[in-house]
Structure 1
Amino acid sequence: MATEQGQLPDAYDEVLEQFARVTYLSDGGSYLNWDQEVMMPDDGTPARAKQLSTISGVHHDLLTDDVVADGLDELDESELPQPQAAEVREVRRQYDRAAKVPRDLVERISEETSNALPVWKEAKAESDWSTFAPKVETLLDLKREYAEHIDPDADPYAVLFADYEPYLDLSVAEDVLTTLRDELVPLIDDIKASDTELADPFDGAYSDDTQMALCRSLLDTLGYDWDRGRIDVAPHPFSLGTQFDARVTTRFDEEDPVGAIGSTIHEFGHATYTLGLPQEHYGSPLGQHRGLTVHESQSRLMENHVGRSRAFWDLVTDDVNDHLGTEVTPQAGYEAANQIYPENRIRVEADELTYHMHIVLRFEIERDLLAGDLDVEEVPAVWNEKMEEYLGVTPDDDAEGCLQDIHWSHGSFGYFSTYSLGSVLAAQLFAAAEDDIADLDGKIRNGEFGPLHDWLTENVHAHGQRYETNDLVREATGSGFSADPFVEYATAKFGDLYDL
């Protein structure tokens, strides 16, 4: 039945009010996760695991309550206007998945992931995969069971992937990763064979306090809203929050200040997206991010297309020198930020090109683990083999290899490919922004970030979940999701840097 102009069914209000409660509870739980990763005492894990498990169970109950089920059934018979139809579509998507999963499984997954975090930290500190492997095995079993409940006939990896990217098919991720491997490996080989050596001017030791002061200053320059955010240190950098409170974390290596700069700007991109979501729609799908492909596009856009640009280094080099006591030139800083290090074994420290080989490696291992084609105890050996195959290096130990990322302690199987999808989308969005914003490069050089921020807010952030992923991309750029702009950008940029 059609709704009268300006009048929405009562079921719409009931469903959205309940969904708002779900959102508020979930956001509250996310700050408990932030606390656990940033500042919770080490021995707080048993209680925190129970707290988060209970929140997950109540979250599940609220989302699958009869008021949602009955309301959605009623709304299926209604012809709602946009954007209300989009809100109902998104609630329906979440409800349909959640309703198939038993509450006790949701709670067990939450508790196991909370308990896995300190085990991962210990295993990484001791560089001992065998310490962490039982937790991985348990989480894999739980996630297989979760996927089986949602769709017993589907590839479990595809089911899990949809948790992070609901509207791009897994085949799209596979195609993108194949394209990047086919296009980037020859480019990386050409760079290896090049006689050009880029500047590497940061050869001192830089304290955590010094780097933190620099990172805070750079966030000031970029326009981070300190009234709605903060920066802290975490073993694995991340950003988390709402449009009212979006926090960032970073980490430091005393010999690599460029790494901290890139990490901080990356998380700033995430926070900027979160803070750009419409405040008036908080609690509604219209106030939530579109998915991790789009979220990652915002962080990679800021990290790579802004933070690794020559224009940005023209702007910030004096600030960098003032904080670090260096005498780096803008060109040297730009080159340092764009060094290609095929020998780098750490994903979060990887350069812009070899980064994607790290993603391919993880994608393949995860798929084999979920399918039962790879035993957990075999992961270190297979990891090292793939590192040698794709990057020509072998990690020195498990901490440098299969224990370097936090994601498996979260049970986040299916997540990694969104990093490459987001990088590809970042190039497509930035190219569209360059077309629409006169002399964007010059504006970045002058520290005028408002036009880019406004463009991203108008074309991405403000829509929340109104559009499915490819429709959002088309609205913003005029064309569907494509890896071509990234390949063109990378080929031109690194061809110029390395005189190819």
Structure 2
Amino acid sequence: MSAFDDLMAFQRETGALAQVAGRLGWDQETTMPHGAAEQRSEETAALESVLHARRTDPRVGEWLAAIDAGALDEVGQAQLRHITRSFTRAGRVPGKLAADLARLTSRAHRIWAEARADDNFAAFAPVLRDVVALKREEGAALAAGGDVYDALLDDYEPGATAQQLSDMFGALRPRLVALRQAILERPAPKPLSGTYDDAAQMALAQKLAETFGYDMSRGRLDKAVHPFSSGSGDDVRITTRTNPLDPFNCIYSTIHETGHAAYEQAIAPAYRFTPLGEGVSMGVHESQSRIYENQLGRSRAFTGWLHGQMRAQFGDLGLDPEAFYASVNSVQNNYIRTESDEVQYNLHVLLRFDLERALISGDLAVDDLEAAWNERFAADFGFAVDKASDGVLQDVHWSAGLFGYFPTYSLGNVYAGCLNKALRQAVPDLDAQMAAGDLGAATGWLRENVQRHGGLYTPREVIERACGFAPSEAPLLEYLEAKFGDLYAL
């Protein structure tokens, strides 16, 4: 076998082990007994040690040195690009630090969940201090003298920098704030009321996932505190949550996670267990979940069909299709990022982006985080946080050590705006299809132009190739101003 063949065989085995590690995470969030948490943290750390040893195995460096990149085709060169980057980054992080982080974040997740349930940030703060300290150590090792936060961001959006994102977000903020203020001066739409059975919500959620192209023969839908998608290839699992007073929470969490899962299921099978066999970045991943959830799932055409599905499942809703559409897209004060409307969502993300950068730089101490969050929230949204679970404790990310992850949510929205513009040009009768509950053309276009490529191209290349133009915030802003201008007669 050639050096490239040896490298790829080794890589596929590493990729398979990484999938097992991911399955442990899914189990921890869904069905693991509460009392198993400490044991699971040791299991997670042990597996992470094995993975780290493989990612830094000297043979990888030897194979890389022996390969003539010029003799490889486009796919082989892309594989080499990813493996070289991963090997270089993994080699900068000591094995003990990688295992310590895995062990700590597994324990921190349990402590966060308990603190969130008790609305007690002080109970979470000590372990969060430890997580921040280890992430700073990891970031410094990865940065090799460069910017620590950028080094962490690179795990989720290769090639992006905090300054680039700050510039993009700075262009978004003024028009979003202006749009939000204009909307909140208008009468609010009539809300959906009543109670909605949990089991019926889950039945509808499964139907919606399948409507958006999720292959249940290679996946499953479960409940979790924080909805997520896990896995790739032929085992991609999603979770959602239910609230008897708010079925939209379950519906749109499910559609959102289906976007992530559909991406993973659609990647070319030949890339399985290799670096190309997963989404190229979290920004591109988020673009899929956001366009599924918002530009498609919250459109007037699709909500007209959804209105009929909900009436069939729950009976009379007290809203006609147009009022239902307005209710789905209602803009109102809300504490929770994952439940936020399209207009205000990015303001939630920017708050977290700025705070976590300050935590990593040392400009903000963990003990001051809750006060800083509450102050920023009041400034951005005009009302006060009522409790920690509606504020600093609402998201799982920091307990998991996912610093650098939050900004990819807004970047995903920007990418989704670009993709929606291109999709509308490619499928001019899209609304007529969605009104009949047919998402095939939309999801097929995304599968062909984005999802099947996996990691073959860089994140920006994926979007530019799909759209025919360089990504920018302009299409998203134009879409939001047109949609909500119409809804609220601005």
User: Does TM, scored on the shorter chain, surpass 0.5?
Assistant: yes
2:441 is aligned with 1:421: no
Which letter does structure 1 place at the counterpart of 2:458? E
Deviation, structure 1 residue 222: 2.7
**Separation in 1 of the partners of 2:426 and 2:358?**
43
Correspondence for 2:235: 245
CA distance in 2, matches of 1:229, 1:151: 37
Rounded to whole Å, the distance in 2 between the matches of 1:444 and 1:481 is 26
- Measured in 2, the distance between the counterparts of 1:383 and 1:362 equals 8
Name the structure 2 match of 1:492.
482
Partner of 2:52: 60
Give the partner amino acid of 2:40.
R
2:163 is the counterpart of 1:171: yes
> Which of 430, 436, 442 is the aligned partner of 1:446?
436
- TM-score normalised over the length of structure 1: 0.95
Map of 2:279 onto structure 1: 289
Query: CA–CA distance in 2 between the matches of 1:305 and 1:76?
Result: 44
- Kept in 1, the 8 Å contact 2:171–2:473? The answer is yes
Cα 1:18–1:151 change in 2 (3 A) is same
* Alignment check: 8 A CA contact 2:104 2:131 kept: yes
1:168-209 Cα shifts (integer Å, max 9, x gaps): 233222122212212100111111222x43231x21122322
Cα deviation per residue 1:101-155 (whole Å; 9 max; x = unaligned)?
Answer: 1111100000101111110111001100011111110011111111111124222
Aligned partners of 2:273 and 2:468: how far apart in 1?
29
1:192 pairs with 2:196: no
1:435 paired to 2:425 = yes
Aligned residue number for residue 322 of structure 1: 312
Quote the residue 1:215 is aligned against: 205
| Residues 433 and 183 of structure 1, relative CA distance in 2, 3 Å threshold | same
Aligned to 2:239, what secondary structure does the other structure show?
A: strand
Structure 1 residues 122-201: aligned runs within 5 Å = 122-194=114-186, 196-200=187-191
Look up the equivalent residue of 2:178 and give its one-letter code. P
Give the match for residue 302 of structure 1.
292
**C-alpha offsets along residues 410-435 of structure 1, whole Å, 9 cap, x if unaligned?**
10011100000001101111111111
Instruction: Indicate the residue corresponding to 2:42 in structure 1.
Output: 50
- What displacement does 1:452 show? 1.6
Structure 1 residue 456 and structure 2 residue 439: aligned? no
Q: Confirm or deny that 1:272 pairs with 2:272.
A: no
Structure 1 residue 77: Cα displacement: 6.0
Q: What is the aligned-residue RMSD (CA, Å)?
A: 1.3
CA contact (8 A) 1:345 1:393 kept: no
CA contact (8 A) 1:359 1:417 kept: yes
Superposed displacement of residue 438, structure 1: 3.2
Cα separation, 2, equivalents of 1:406 and 1:76: 43
Match of 1:483 in 2: 473
- Which residue of structure 1 lines up, in the alignment, with residue 339 of structure 2? 349
Answer with 20-29 or 439-448: which moved more.
439-448
Determine if the alignment matches structure 1 residue 473 to structure 2 residue 463: yes
Find the aligned partners of 1:146 and 1:224 in 2 and give their Cα distance: 36
**Bigger shift: 74-83 or 302-311?**
74-83
How many residue pairs are counted as aligned between the two chains? Answer: 489
Q: Are 1:91 and 2:83 an aligned pair?
A: yes
Aligned residue number for residue 381 of structure 1 = 371
Amino acid at match of 2:419: L
| Equivalent position amino acid for 1:279 in 2 | P
2:352 corresponds to: 362
1:264-313 deviation digits (Å, cap 9, x = unpaired): 11011111111111112201222221110000000000000111001111
Instruction: Supply the AA of the counterpart residue of 1:331.
Output: E
Identical pairs, percent: 39
Q: Distance in 2 between matches of 1:152 and 1:241?
A: 31
Instruction: Give the secondary structure class of the aligned counterpart of 2:54.
Output: helix
Distance 1:382 1:458 in 2: 44
- One-letter amino acid of the counterpart of residue 355, structure 1: Y
